[in-house]
Amino acid sequence: MKIAVDAMGGDHAPHEIVKGAVKAAQTYDVNVVLVGVKDEVQKHLSQILPHGDSRISIVHAEQVVNMDDKPSQIIRSKRRSSLHVGLGLVKEGEASAFYSAGNTGAVMAAAILILRTLDGIDRPAIATALPSLNGHSVLIDAGANVDSKVENYLHFAIMGSAYAKAILGIETPKVGLLSIGEEDVKGNEITKSAFVRLKECKALKFIGNIEPKELFKGIADVMVCDGFIGNVALKSSEAVASFIGSVFKGELKRSLLVKLGALLMYPALLRIKHRADPDEYGGAPLLGVGGICLIGHGRANADTVKNGVRVAKDMVLSKMNESIKIDVSNSLNLL
């Protein structure tokens, strides 16, 4: 198995990306192909791993996609970028999966163009693992589609369920529809229609609507929504977490007694941080394209990349795309 990694993608590329790829190769015994400007990637690789490693190779790509590049511009004028070359390796069977912490819109556009979509899937979706009281759950779509149709909601549910089974180990995932109320009459016309569609699908364990306040309660293992709603919910959650962290740090400075109390709580606080840390999953898979594609956060560090490669490997081993195609076929037949 070879995992292609976009060495030029991300705020801290290429050093942190290369460092994370080296960690992944050594920790998970996986072959990693670093895709990027060869001389620059080799310079950082030599600093991190002076004696080399047969599990790590470099494929040259002469162009770099910047974080502020427009997806349409990249598709037209940067066809020799690390993004295109890496996805091309997956298409040609030279790599089993692709990981990039670069421009999210560009990764999605290039993946759809190069890998196409799976049979039966109209639009791919981003699946994000969220911490919950029961472990983890999946939010889908987290930003790939800002205007979805009813059929897309059904596909999101099927793909999210396949991901929850394969990666989170949930045998029969409970599927909920993110809306403004628990009653089936709540929501706009598209969510009310999606409710009916999901309820009709016998292949899904649909439990009805869930409200945003229940995102982290673990009531549903898969939470389905439009990409616009999902991205707002995700970023709002990140903002709340950041706010709580800042307030907590401020309170620590108020007195010695508070600092002593925090010291006693330190092991528990570390466990909470580990449980809620999005870097543990390395990134979010773009489900529904004809190859394994994982999108990391732009601020990805070495540990983020290492975990992203791990998840990519798990998705390959679980035959994620094959599962999605089978589940889509079965679900449509049972309607």
pLDDT single digits (tens) 14-38: 999 999 999 999 999 999 999 999 9
pLDDT band at 277 (very low <50, low <70, confident <90, very high): low
Mean pLDDT, rounded, for 136-158: 92
Straight-line distance from the first to the last Cα atom of the chain, in angstroms, rounded to the nearest whole number: 37
Instruction: Report residue 166 as tokens.
Output: 């394969």
Query: Which residues pair with residue 100 across a beta bridge?
Result: 295
For tokens 């009281």, name the residue.
133
What is the CB neighbour count within 10 angstroms for residue 97? 27
Most confident of 64-73, 248-257, 317-326: 317-326
Mean pLDDT score across all residues of the chain:
89
Confidence of residue 276 (pLDDT cuts 50, 70, 90): low
Q: State the Rg of the chain over Cα.
A: 21
- Quick check: 334 pLDDT over 60? no
Above 90 in pLDDT, residue 44? yes
Give the model's pLDDT for residue 275. Answer: 67
Q: What is the DSSP letter of 325?
A: H
Q: Could you report the per-residue pLDDT of 157-206, keeping only the tens digit for each?
A: 999 999 999 888 899 999 999 999 888 888 889 999 999 999 998 889 99
C-beta separation of 294 from 32 below 8 A: no
- For residue 50, the 8-state DSSP code is T
If pLDDT is split at 50, 70 and 90, which confidence band does 4 have? Answer: very high
pLDDT digits (tens, 9 = 90+) for 211-266: 999 999 999 999 999 999 999 998 888 888 888 888 888 887 788 887 788 778 77
Judged by DSSP in three states, 167 sits in: coil
pLDDT band at 297 (very low <50, low <70, confident <90, very high): confident
Higher pLDDT, 283 or 160: 160
CATH of the structural domain 1-121+288-318, one choice from 3.40.718.10, 3.40.50.300, 3.40.605.10, 3.30.429.10: 3.40.718.10
**Half-sphere exposure in the Cβ direction for 127 (13 Å, CA):** 35
Quick one: tokens of 174? 């409970």
The residue with tokens 């409710």 is 195
pLDDT band with cut points at 50, 70 and 90 for residue 77: confident
Residue 84: CA count within 13 A, CB half-sphere: 16
- Confidence band (pLDDT; 50, 70, 90) for 335? low
Give the separation between CA 45 and CA 122, rounded to whole angstroms. Answer: 40
Q: Where are the domains of the chain?
A: 1-121+288-318, 122-278
In CATH terms, are 1-121+288-318 and 122-278 the same topology? yes
Superfamily of domain 122-278, CATH level 4: Isopropylmalate Dehydrogenase (3.40.718.10)
Q: What is the DSSP letter of 81?
A: B
Provide the pLDDT for residue 333. 64
DSSP label of 49 = -
Contact 58, 33 (CB under 8 A): yes
pLDDT band (50, 70, 90) for residue 119: confident
Find the mean pLDDT for residues 80-94.
Answer: 95
> 332: exposed, middle or buried (C-beta count within 10 Å: 0-12, 13-18, 19+)?
middle
The more confident residue out of 147 and 5 is 5
CB neighbour burial string for 12-49, b if at least 16 within 10 angstroms, e if fewer: bbbbbbbbbbbbbbeebebbbbbbbbeebbbebbeeeb
Angle at which helix 38-48 crosses helix 15-28, to 10 degrees, equals 60
β partners of residue 284: 295
| pLDDT score of 112 more than 70 | yes
Mean pLDDT of the 297-321 span: 92
